[in-house]
Structures are given as structure tokens and as C-alpha cells.
């Protein structure tokens, strides 16, 4: 299964902060379509018990990045059951809408699925989020803990250097969140003037605080270009 982004692609900040996305199934055979007009109308199953599923903003996890996309996975598999009198229905994929019923993205199955009476269909939802064209180097910092999910997380960054030279303005808050993690994720951009390499790495000190966790201090060193995911693992008090 793959997720395809229509032209009106969402950003990571919108995905993590919204609580009004709905997952739905569609019965349209899209053929080889890789994108669709913004006014395209998906057809949903007609069996009686079918209904959209509300997606929780707390259930997304950033999993991988590539040169073009960052991928987020929904932590829970979604299950639709057909218990109506309808014999069967052919499902070609799923799509996600916002509170105004606008289609935000859709995912086609590798092949259609026939859901017959008293059968279920299980869907793993994922979304490919467009990476920023600028800057070229980004850092996704994910804060985790060895206990309950850390709350009221604060991240402080200082002593930013390129090689041995201080560059205090080299890092940018891509989520425009005043450097406050959103769902414990902080997305950072690096000024394109910084040419990262082993001889002249990018480095900075971070301090992370969260309720019921020990203060975490770490020196981050990045020696190559591209998209980076850094996990900060906090320890309970």
C-alpha cells in the first residue's frame, strides 16, 4: 500500500496538531492515477454498518525520511467490518478528510480487496509529508521516555557551531512553534550556508526538560548532509 498526496498537501505541523481527520474507504477504481484533482469525489462503501473513523492526533509516529518525503504512520490498524445483508463490496483504498470533508490524501491498495458479508478489512494508514525545499538539511528531534509519554517538554539549544566557528542563527524552527515540540517532535532546519562534512560538522548542545523526568543534556554532532532523525530518550526521576 502507498499513500499519494494530492496537490493540497498538508504539513507536519497540521497533521500533528489537528484532531479532526477522518479515514474512509473508497470503491473507485483509480487505475494508474498518481494524483487527483482537488474536487475529485471518492465513492464510499454502501453497506449499512460502514462509517468513517476519527483519527487521533496523538497516534501518529514519524518513522522514516527520504530525499523527497517524511513518512508518518498511524499507530493503530483500522478495522472496518461488513455485517450487513450486502453480499460483497470491492474496496480499492482509503482516503482521509478534514473537518470540512476536504480530501487531504489517499492511499491505493496494491490490488482491490473484496469485503464480503461478515468479513473485516484491516488498513494501516500512513502519509508521506512533503519535505521543505528549503532548507536542504533538516533534523527531526523526537523526545521519548522510559515511562509514560513525557509531558510539557521543553528543548533548549545553544552553542551552535559549524566546525569551530559559532553560528547562533544557523538553525530554524520549521514548525514555527517557538521551539516548543509538537507531540514531542521538533523539526529543525539548517541554513544552506552551512556545508556539513566530517571535517567541519554541525554541532550544538541541547537541554531537554519534562515533567517527572530527569534533565537531559547532550552534545549533538552531525557530520553529513540530508534528513536526520534524532531520538532523545529521557529517564524517569
Among 114, 130, 146, which residue terminates a domain?
Answer: 130
Q: What's the whole-model pTM score?
A: 0.59
17 & 119 share domain: yes
pLDDT at residue 66 greater than cutoff 70: no
Integer Cα distance of 189 and 227 in angstroms = 9
CA-to-CA dists, residue 118 to 84, 88, 94, 114, 121, angstroms: 8, 9, 20, 12, 10
123 & 223 share domain: no
Among 130, 146, 173, which residue terminates a domain?
Answer: 130
Q: What is the pLDDT of the chain when averaged over all its residues?
A: 83
pLDDT at residue 204 greater than cutoff 80: yes
User: What's the pLDDT band for 6 if we cut at 50, 70, 90?
Assistant: very low
Which structural domain range is residue 163 located in? 137-234
Whether the ω angle into residue 135 lies within 30 degrees of 0, i.e. cis, is yes
The H-or-E segment that residue 17 falls in is helix 12-17
Cell numbers describing residue 233: 530518550
* Residues β-bridged to residue 4: 106
pLDDT at residue 216 greater than cutoff 60: yes
Least confident of 60-74, 145-159, 165-179, 216-230: 60-74
Give yes or no for a contact between 105 and 95, defined as CB atoms under 8 angstroms apart: yes
Integer Cα distance of 197 and 76 in angstroms = 39
126 & 148 share domain: no
Integer Cα distance of 21 and 35 in angstroms = 20
User: What's the pLDDT band for 150 if we cut at 50, 70, 90?
Assistant: very high
169 & 97 share domain: no
pLDDT at residue 114 greater than cutoff 50: yes
The H-or-E segment that residue 16 falls in is helix 12-17
Among 112, 130, 148, which residue terminates a domain?
Answer: 130
Split into its structural domains, the chain has a count of 2
User: What's the pLDDT band for 44 if we cut at 50, 70, 90?
Assistant: very high
175 & 111 share domain: no
Integer Cα distance of 69 and 26 in angstroms = 24
156 & 63 share domain: no
pLDDT at residue 152 greater than cutoff 60: yes
Residue 48 burial class via C-beta count within 10 angstroms: exposed 0-12, middle 13-18, buried 19 and up: exposed
Instruction: Name the more confident of 26 and 5.
Output: 26
pLDDT on residue 13? 66
Amino acid at each position: 500500500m502507498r499513500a499519494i498526496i494530492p496537490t493540497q498537501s498538508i504539513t507536519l505541523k497540521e497533521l500533528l496538531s489537528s484532531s479532526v481527520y477522518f479515514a474512509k474507504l473508497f470503491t473507485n477504481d483509480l487505475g494508474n492515477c498518481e494524483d487527483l484533482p482537488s474536487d475529485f469525489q471518492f465513492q464510499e462503501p454502501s453497506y449499512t454498518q460502514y462509517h468513517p473513523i476519527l483519527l487521533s492526533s496523538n497516534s501518529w509516529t514519524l518513522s522514516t525520511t527520504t530525499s523527497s518525503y517524511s513518512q508518518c504512520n498511524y499507530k493503530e490498524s483500522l478495522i472496518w467490518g461488513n455485517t450487513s445483508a450486502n453480499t460483497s463490496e470491492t474496496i480499492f483504498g482509503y482516503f482521509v478528510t478534514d473537518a470540512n470533508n476536504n480530501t487531504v490524501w489517499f492511499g491505493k491498495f496494491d490490488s482491490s480487496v473484496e469485503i464480503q458479508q461478515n468479513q473485516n478489512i484491516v488498513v494501516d494508514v500512513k502519509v508521506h509529508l512533503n519535505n521543505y525545499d528549503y532548507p536542504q538539511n533538516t533534523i527531526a528531534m523526537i523526545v521519548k521516555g522510559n515511562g509514560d509519554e513525557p509531558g510539557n517538554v521543553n528543548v533548549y539549544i545553544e552553542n551552535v557551531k559549524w566546525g569551530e566557528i559559532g553560528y547562533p542563527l544557523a538553525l530554524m524552527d520549521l514548525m514555527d512553534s517557538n521551539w516548543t515540540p509538537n507531540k514531542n517532535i521538533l523539526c529543525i532546519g539548517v541554513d544552506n550556508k552551512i556545508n556539513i562534512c566530517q571535517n567541519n560538522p554541525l554541532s550544538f548542545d541541547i537541554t531537554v526538560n519534562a515533567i517527572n523526568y530527569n534533565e537531559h543534556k547532550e552534545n549533538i554532532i552531525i557530520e553529513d548532509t540530508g534528513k536526520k532523525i534524532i531520538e532523545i530518550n529521557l529517564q524517569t526521576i
